[in-house]
């Protein structure tokens, strides 16, 4: 009995170490904040519970000793031989495949956009991760909505979907709910039917996890969300603010009518011009209605999640402008291009992604830019203090690149121009001479009226008699 109590006390001590005292080895893995106010220490020694500091601070040491003592006293009062311990981690066995801990602790309040990291003591076969093997369900049986990723071999991350309505009530975590995170082990009764997360050796989980947490209920974004990046949103551009020159997460110009890889062109920050430009002087097309291959859009990647409400993600806060130069005075002014704005993704490892599409033809041979206007906000209310306008500057192509004369920039852009100067079967005529009609054909550009189309017979028009409907109608 004494040996059983000692082994249980040791197991309880191991499992009682909160995961915030652990450090991860992957730079992509989010370190949980030490709620006790302890600073993390260098990590060098692997452990079944993750990588634990080999040189804990005196305060941390005292706390761990206290946790071990508490676990020993608790377990000493138990007489059952069951290996299922009371506490968040459930299952059995030292040295078996087990959950080592999670970033969410039992009983905490968890923000709506905050991801949950679950750490295992062995490398995980990510193909076995699903909503059946890792369950997050509220007290009404409604599962949380989100996605799983694997930032490191032993960590599985759940990222809840962020709300996208004005009152933040339709996200992956709903406000004011109690959720239970369950990672079933193969011995769990009635949960998962023995289907578990497996390690890369194909072994099923021996020690699972069971914790409960609540979500906040508030209209204050500072209460609802965790601010993952300090300050207002910034646009990610290759070469700007430390974004790598080969980053797949930079902003780009999208050509939806073209085939890969020609359908994407990443913006690159020019340090001399202090502007984001397309490489090699690439020009954007004119966004013609009639030719999908000549359409384009800006896809802007942000360094953090953004407030997804329609009051924030709209064409007033994010847009496209072109530089208008007065032909007489040469005065310059930026004018808005009508556009639509669509939130593509939010609360991802990138941050957020927004597509901005011009809804009409853009002026040819013009300087065009994407802009983020004052007031655009992240999830917690950090607002852009002044308009951002240098991260994406491009130039539009010419309607006829072989003709450099663009004095009249409206001609030849996206139209069928009929001047009625050529008719019949003459070269360049658009007149349909084969149509069968009992009425005579119209005269296109008669000699007495060049550039005019008119009836070939006397016609004074048609008079239509309109009678207003009676109240009964």
pLDDT tens for 319-375 read: 999 999 988 899 999 999 999 999 999 999 899 999 999 998 999 899 999 999 999
Higher pLDDT, 459 or 9: 459
Across the range 58-67, mean pLDDT stands at 37
All residues at 6 or more sequence positions from 294 whose CB lies less than 8 Å from its CB, including other chains = 257, 285, 286, 287, 288
Q: Is it the case that residue 44 has pLDDT exceeding 60?
A: no
**Is there a common fold for 2-224 and 252-396?**
yes
Among residues 314, 352, 336, the alpha carbon closest in space to that of 235 is found at 352
pLDDT above 70 coverage of the chain, percent = 71
Give this prediction's pTM: 0.65
| C-beta neighbour count of 392 within 10 angstroms | 26
| Cα distance between residue 9 and residue 23, in whole Å | 24
Three-state SS at 80:
coil
Return d(Cα 300, Cα 401) in angstroms, integer.
28
pLDDT digits (tens, 9 = 90+) for 287-322: 988 888 899 999 999 999 999 999 999 999 999 999
Name the residue ranges covered by the structural domains of the chain: 2-224, 252-396, 418-473
Q: What is the pLDDT of residue 403?
A: 64
- At residue 192, φ and ψ (nearest 5 deg) are 85, -15
Q: What band does 142 get if pLDDT is binned at 50, 70 and 90?
A: very high
Q: Does residue 36 have a pLDDT over 90?
A: no
What is the rounded average pLDDT for all residues in the chain?
79
C-alpha separations of 226 from 317, 320, 423 in Å: 23, 31, 69
d(CA 23, CA 55): 12
Q: Is 402 exposed, middle or buried (0-12, 13-18, 19+ CB in 10 A)?
A: exposed
Report the topology of domain 2-224: Immunoglobulin-like (2.60.40)
Report d(CA 158, CA 147) in Å as an integer. Answer: 6
Cα 123 to Cα 200: distance, rounded to the nearest angstrom = 6
pLDDT at residue 75 in the model: 35
Task: Check residue 467 and give its pLDDT.
Answer: 54
Confidence band, pLDDT 50/70/90 cuts, at residue 253 = very high
DSSP 165-201: STTS-SSSSPTT-EEEEEE--TT-SSSGGG---BBTT
C-alpha span between 337 and 360 (Å, rounded): 8
* pLDDT value of position 207: 93
**431 is written with which tokens?**
């007149």
**For residues 85 and 15, is the Cβ–Cβ distance under 8 A?**
yes
With beta carbons less than 8 A apart as the criterion, state whether 112 and 146 touch.
no
Q: What is the pLDDT of residue 95?
A: 72
Residue 319 is predicted with a pLDDT of 97
**CATH class of the 252-396 domain in this structure:** mainly beta
pLDDT at res. 66? 37
């Amino acid at each position: 009995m004494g040996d059983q109590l000692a082994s249980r006390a040791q197991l309880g001590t191991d499992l009682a170490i909160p995961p915030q005292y652990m450090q991860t080895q992957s730079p992509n893995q989010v370190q949980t904040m030490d709620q006790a106010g302890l600073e993390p220490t260098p990590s060098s020694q692997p452990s079944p519970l993750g990588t634990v500091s080999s040189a804990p601070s005196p305060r941390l040491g005292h706390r761990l000793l206290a946790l071990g003592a508490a676990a020993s006293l608790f377990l000493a009062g138990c007489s059952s031989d069951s290996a299922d311990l009371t506490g968040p981690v459930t299952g059995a066995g030292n040295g078996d495949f087990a959950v080592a801990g999670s970033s969410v602790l039992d009983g905490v309040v968890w923000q709506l956009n905050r991801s949950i990291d679950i750490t295992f003591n062995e490398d995980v076969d990510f193909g076995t991760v699903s909503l059946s093997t890792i369950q997050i369900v509220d007290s009404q049986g409604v599962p949380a909505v989100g996605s799983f990723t694997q930032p490191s071999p032993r960590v599985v991350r759940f990222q809840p979907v962020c709300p996208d309505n004005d009152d933040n009530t339709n996200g992956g975590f709903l406000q004011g709910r109690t959720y239970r995170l369950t990672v079933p082990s193969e011995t769990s009764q009635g949960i998962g039917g023995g289907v578990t997360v497996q390690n890369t050796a194909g072994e099923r989980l021996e020690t699972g996890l069971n914790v409960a947490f609540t979500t906040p209920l508030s209209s204050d974004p500072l209460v609802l969300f965790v601010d993952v990046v300090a300050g207002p949103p910034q646009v990610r551009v290759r070469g700007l603010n430390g974004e790598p020159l080969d980053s797949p997460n930079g902003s780009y110009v999208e050509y939806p009518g073209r085939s890969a890889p020609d359908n994407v062109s990443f913006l690159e920050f020019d340090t001399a011009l202090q502007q984001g430009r397309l490489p090699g002087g690439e020009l954007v097309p004119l966004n013609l209605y009639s030719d999908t291959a000549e359409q384009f859009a800006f896809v802007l990647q942000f360094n953090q999640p953004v407030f997804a409400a329609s009051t924030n993600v709209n064409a007033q806060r994010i847009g496209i402008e072109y530089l208008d130069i007065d032909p007489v005075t040469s005065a310059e002014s930026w004018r808005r291009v009508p556009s639509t704005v669509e939130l593509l993704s939010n609360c991802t490892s990138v941050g957020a992604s927004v597509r901005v599409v011009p809804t009409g033809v853009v002026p040819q041979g013009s300087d065009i830019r994407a802009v983020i206007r004052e007031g655009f906000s992240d999830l917690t209310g950090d607002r852009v203090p002044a308009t951002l306008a240098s991260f994406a500057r491009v130039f539009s192509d010419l309607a006829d690149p072989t003709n450099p004369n663009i004095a009249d920039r409206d001609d030849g852009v996206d139209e069928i121009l009929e001047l009625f100067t050529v008719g019949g079967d003459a070269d360049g005529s658009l007149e349909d001479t084969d149509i069968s009609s009992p009425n005579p054909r119209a005269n296109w550009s008669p000699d007495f009226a060049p550039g005019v189309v008119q009836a070939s017979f006397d016609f004074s028009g048609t008079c239509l008699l309109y009678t207003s409907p009676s109240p009964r109608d």
